[in-house]
Amino acid sequence: MTVPINLLPYDIESAKNKLVVVTGSNSGIGKEIAKSFVDYGAKVIIACRNEQSALEAKEYIGLNSEFIYLDLTDVDAIYKFVDEVHTRYGNIDILINNAGVLRPPFTRTKSGLELTFAVNYIGYYSLSLLMIPLMKNVLGSRVINMSSISQYSVKYINWDNINSDKNYNKNQIYALTNLFRMMFTIELNKRLSNSNSSIVSLACHPGVSITNIVRNLPKFISNPIMVKLLNRFLFQPPDKASKPALAASLNSNIHGGDFVGLDTRKQYKGNPAIVVPNELVFDKELRQKLWDISVEITGIDLN
């Protein structure tokens, strides 16, 4: 279901001279988002763990980009990243939380979190809240959280297993963390608004695009010929899949808490449009519970 608001074209000129942080921009959709911003005249911070792939991506993204190390599984690394951005630049205009993992082997981080939960949600929460002080004095600043159509598959939340303490279901935790991103987006925007902040929080999803995030799926899906065929005829290539994030960042018809998806029924591919997320995100008690758990895990809250 989509709301008939045309999000194309977005205001490319408004990107000029902005400082944009894009997590996971060393590959896939994130790399395309970063390249577009540099092409539009912005400065981009490539935020990821792999320095080699980041430097290779920089050649594609453009000279007005810079790599700064970020490991979303490590809260100390997140603090260090934020400190380094603050030291070098002072403020930022846009934070695009794009990095993620899909169906990895069961892994615990050093803090005891299951890897998908750690990267796909807790990392988003921690980085966003720590970056807020760098955005509060910037007019028109935005936090953009990348989600997925997988969120629609979640019918209820088993709070006892959000960290896979009872069992690990790769597909369920991936969908759940994408739902959590949307819940966090709405709750963060509400809290920012209540504090009279000009920062807005939005979410988007790219549809379906076969990128290196599928490395843990069956090998035939990542076959280069299969990738090309799927992205051309059934899904969409990374450059097209980057458009919802760009629209969420640069379109003036969007409001805090909105969810930018695609203007097609299944939303596998299409053009950016404001869409309705999973109905669970509108439950205030669920959002409050998620927020409380996030504060408990991270020790970070919105000040």
Query: From its phi and psi, is residue 41 left (phi > 0), alpha (psi between -120 and 50) or beta?
Result: left
Q: Which H or E run includes 157? A: none
- Of the candidates 121, 152, 174, 268, the residue annotated as catalytic is 174
The two most distant CA atoms of the chain are separated, in Å, by 51
Secondary structure class of 253 (helix, strand, coil): coil
Question: Is 174 a residue of the active site?
Answer: yes
Amino acid code (one letter) for 104? P
Please name the residues in contact with 193: beta carbons below 8 A apart, sequence gap of 6 or more. 256
Question: Is the CA virtual torsion 187, 195, 141, 263 positive or negative?
Answer: positive
**18, 89 Cβ separation under 8 angstroms:** no
| Strand residue runs (E) in the chain | 2-6, 19-23, 43-48, 65-69, 94-97, 142-146, 200-204, 259-262, 272-275
Residues annotated catalytic, as ranges: 174
